[in-house]
Amino acid sequence: MNKFEKPIYVTMPTLAPLHEVDAYMERIWASGIMTHNGPLVQQFEKDFSAWSGVDKTVAVCNGTLAIQLAIRALGLPKGGEIITTPFTFIATLSSILYEGYKPVFVDIDSDTLDIDPKKIEAAITDRTVAILPVHVFGNPCDVEVIDDIAAKHGVKVIYDAAHAVGVKVNGKSVLSYGDVSATSFHATKLLNTSEGGGIIARDPSVDERLRELRFFGYNKEKDVACVGTNAKMTEVNAAIGLANLKYMDAILADRREKYGLYKAILSGCPSLSFQKIAPSCNCSYFPVMFEDEATLLRVDSALKAANVYARRYFWPSVNKYRSICADAEGCPISEDIASRILCLPLYRTLAGDEVRMIADNVKEVIG
């Protein structure tokens, strides 16, 4: 077993050289503008949109509020049902509940780990107001099929794109599908602003409403147009994001290379399986599925003994959180996969040799 001297975490933030962040910080210090849709937030919105290939982005303070505001901006009938995936981070589910909607879980495709589009229509009722899929681990959902189902039934689509920066489908940004996409710029994400989120809306009036919602409900005329909140991104967060954005192409290439390295070593183990990813997946995580939970637990504790801290993303399947969704439907595929999937460390400063050592450790435990 290869032991590591320093702890190896599931991820580490991508950090641009400090002097490049400082150049932006000097502008903040010179102007005294720290927040309230300042020049750096506006520039970050513009530069992120250009890099992603979308018209506009609304920058907010985190990915969770991005989902909440996305739901709210669509003005959906209160109390309706939102169809979503059980295989996700708690923030997807809690945002639906926080906004006062009933989550209806549709099980996942066991290969892609995204919501199974073939099962969505059966879950649509006259109370359905939206579908909220997640591009799990940056692997794009079947967006064209999902958007078609939504159009046919007159419901909205909100994509939880927290993992999906830099992903293209049919040559277009995945963020341009659906009515709204909500992404995250958290420290653990491919593009980070420390804490942050971004919302991309298809309809310019929804974009406008999002800008009001994040700023206490004030509109451009400084009148209160709706019940808003404070979800602004600060200038300091935008400064970090602007500096990091310049490295995104290199970061994507690096992830793909290390993802390929893990896969090349671990593919030789017949008892392991992997997410079936689209060529455009951003490879932001390296999930691996074991035969059963007992094997996962054995590998996880051996890795910890070697100073490697993999993470059980996502466990449990969120439909199992009985304290907040007591009557949720069972989702056998998601529950099974959640019990035996582990994300191995993957980040820019992780060396290729370290990837090899971690993969060899996994192989050694499973035999």
Amino acid at 203: D
Q: Please, what is the minimum distance in Å from the beta carbon of residue 72 to ligand T4K?
A: 16
Q: Is 52 or 366 the residue whose CB approaches ligand T4K more closely?
A: 52
Q: Is 118 a catalytic residue?
A: no
Q: Report d(CA 25, CA 258) in Å as an integer.
A: 32
Vertex 338 angle, CA 138 and 300, to 5°: 95
Choose, by CB under 6 A, the member of 72, 186, 211, 214 that binds ligand T4K: 186
Among the listed residues 46, 152, 189, 222, the single catalytic one is 189
Q: Please, what is the minimum distance in Å from the beta carbon of residue 222 to ligand T4K?
A: 29
Q: Cis ω on the peptide bond leading into residue 345 (within 30° of 0)?
A: no
Q: Does 197 bind ligand T4K (CB under 6 A)?
A: yes
Q: Please, what is the minimum distance in Å from the beta carbon of residue 225 to ligand T4K?
A: 25
Q: Is 84 or 366 the residue whose CB approaches ligand T4K more closely?
A: 84
Q: Report d(CA 287, CA 273) in Å as an integer.
A: 9
Q: Please, what is the minimum distance in Å from the beta carbon of residue 307 to ligand T4K?
A: 12
Provide the β-strand partners of residue 344.
286
Residues 107-146 within binding reach of ligand T4K (CB under 6 A) = 134
The string of DSSP letters for 237-286 reads HHHHHHHHHTTHHHHHHHHHHHHHHHHHHHTT-TT-EE----TT-----E
Q: Is 188 or 295 the residue whose CB approaches ligand T4K more closely?
A: 188
Structure tokens at 359: 């993969």
Q: Report d(CA 212, CA 216) in Å as an integer.
A: 7
Q: Measured on CA atoms in the order 242, 219, 101, 174, is the torsion positive or negative?
A: negative
Residues 266-325 within binding reach of ligand T4K (CB under 6 A) = 309, 311, 313
Q: Report d(CA 13, CA 312) in Å as an integer.
A: 19
Q: Is 186 or 366 the residue whose CB approaches ligand T4K more closely?
A: 186
Chain centroid to CA 322:
23
Q: Please, what is the minimum distance in Å from the beta carbon of residue 89 to ligand T4K?
A: 3
What is the x/- site pattern for ligand T4K, positions 54-93, by CB under 6 A?
A: --------xxx-----------------------xx-xx-
Residues 147-166 within binding reach of ligand T4K (CB under 6 A) = 160, 162-163
Q: Which chain residues interact with ligand T4K by CB under 6 A?
A: 9-13, 62-64, 88-89, 91-92, 134, 160, 162-163, 184, 186-188, 197, 309, 311, 313
